[in-house]
Amino acid sequence: MKIRATLFALLLAAAPLFAEPAGEDQFRTWVRQLASDDIQVRDAAQRELEKLDGKWKPELKKALAAATDPESRARLGSVLEILCHPQWHTDLDEAMALAKSGNKPLLVLVTPGAPDGFS
Amino acid sequence: MRTVTFADEDLCAWLNKTFVLAWFDVKPDSTVAGLAPLQHAYAAEEIAAYPEGGGGANIRTLVCNPDGVVRHALEGWWPADKFREECERGRACVAADSLEAAKAIRTKAAAGLETAAAAIEQQNPEEMRKPIRESKVARQAAALRLRATSFRIMDSAVGQSVLALTSEYFEDGEGKVMK
């Protein structure tokens, strides 16, 4: 009984590792949720879309073209920006704080000029 | 890097997911007029001919652990595929158990690059006799050696705090070789 309970707990803990990647239905749900009345739902949906990989770009572009709600359009635009262009932090202290809090490695490009070239 | 490497959308999506990205401008008060000798709009044929690893100390890539300690570093411009390879190597260095283990990854990689260059040179003696601009094979070998060299040039950066390192660059401001 104890062994079964332990195995069950282990399986539950491992469940995220075996989770299916996002499918079409889930994608459409997240896109729909960008227009939710609840800001937490909108924020959560955007965060999920931001985790998608590059193969979803065509679908995101289609969703953006079809969106009529201004907030959905703004949020989809932001998601596409993240998928298509590097999101450079120009404040190194801020970048370091984000890396530490997110336990993510930090990549620093050191060069003359700003990310968008010289003014 | 701006117009070629970071125009690759797949690379950019992967970089955004994998790292916190920071851009450190060593000449923050610069204008086009002031930096005319350094920066101009490259024509398409110039971009195509630009050597891998070119740019030297003008472009440095530092991969740091979440605490801001440099674990992998190299110089120069790299196309998207090579840049991704180095970023992957940077991840491996960050994940390594110790700084020494990270250094060992770099040392082994540099040796591997030099071995690959030597193999190309040995297998293509006729190509190696041509001027480099006339031989794609010679350029390939040169790029491998340059990549290995760029690791060695940046060896002293590994283990340093990225804040301390970049403050030295900022004071120097000339993009010269690190102290």
- Encoded tokens for A97: 């704080």
Three-state DSSP state, B4: coil
Question: The domain containing residue B48 runs over which residues?
Answer: 5-172
How many domains are there within chain A?
A: 1
What residues make up the domain containing A11? 2-86
Residue B72, in any domain of the structure:
yes
Whether the predicted pLDDT of A52 surpasses 80: yes
C-alpha to C-alpha distances, A102 to B17, B19, B178, nearest whole angstrom: 12, 10, 29
Asked whether residue B177 carries a pLDDT value surpassing 50, the answer given is: no
pLDDT value, residue B48: 58
Q: Sorting pLDDT into bands at 50, 70 and 90, what band is A109?
A: very high
DSSP state of A15: G
Say yes or no: ipTM exceeds 0.90: no
8 Å CB contact between B99 and B64: no
Inter-chain contact B2–A100, Cβ cutoff 8 Å? no
Q: Which stretches of chain A sit within 8 Å of chain B by CB?
A: 51, 53-54, 57, 82-90, 92-93, 95-96, 98-100, 102-119
In sign, the C-alpha dihedral spanning B118, B124, B125, B126 is negative
- Answer positive or negative: Cα dihedral of B102, B178, B81, A22: positive
- Report the mean per-residue pLDDT for chain B: 84
Look at A111 and B59 and tell me if their CB atoms are within 8 Å.
yes
Whether B179 maps to a domain, the answer reads no
Joined together, the tokens standing for residue B124 give 């293509």
Q: How far apart are CA A72 and CA A80, in angstroms?
A: 12
Residue A15 has pLDDT above 90, yes or no: no
Residue A42: predicted pLDDT = 96
The torsion angles phi and psi of A88, rounded to 5 degrees, stand at: -80, 135
Residues in contact with B1: Cβ distance below 8 Å, sequence separation at least 6, in sequence order:
A109, A111, B59, B77, B83
What does the pLDDT average to over A2-23?
56
Q: Which of A19-23, A112-116, B13-17 has the lowest mean pLDDT?
A: A19-23
Whether residue A32 is contained in a domain is answered as yes
- Inter-chain CB proximity A112 and B87 less than 8 Å: no
For residue B168, tell me if it sits in a domain: yes
- Which residues in chain A have their CB less than 8 angstroms from residue B19's CB? 99, 104-107
Question: How far apart (Å, rounded) are the C-alpha atoms in residues B91 and B20?
Answer: 12
pLDDT over 70 (residue A32): yes
Residue B128 predicted with pLDDT over 50: yes
Mean pLDDT of B46-71: 82
Q: 3-class SS at B26?
A: coil
User: Amino acid letter at A50?
Assistant: E
Considering only CB atoms, B23 lies closest to which of A82, A90, A118, namely: A90
Q: Which of A53, A110, A119 sits opposite B62 (nearest CB)?
A: A110
Instruction: Judge whether A63 lies within some domain.
Output: yes
Higher pLDDT, B76 or A16: B76
In a domain, A96, yes or no: no
Tell me if A42 is assigned to some domain.
Answer: yes
**So what's the pLDDT on residue B54?**
72
Report d(CA A81, CA A73) in Å as an integer: 12
Q: How far apart are CA B30 and CA B174, in angstroms?
A: 12
Inter-chain contacts counted by CB atoms under 8 A, chains A and B: 161
Rounded Cα gap, residues A32 and B33, in angstroms = 48
Residue B146 lies in a domain: yes
Which of B15, B16, B23 is the best substitution to test chain A (most A C-beta atoms within 10 A)?
Answer: B23
Determine, for residues B13 and A118 on separate chains, whether the beta-carbon distance falls below 8 Å.
no
- Look at chain B and report how many structural domains it folds into: 1
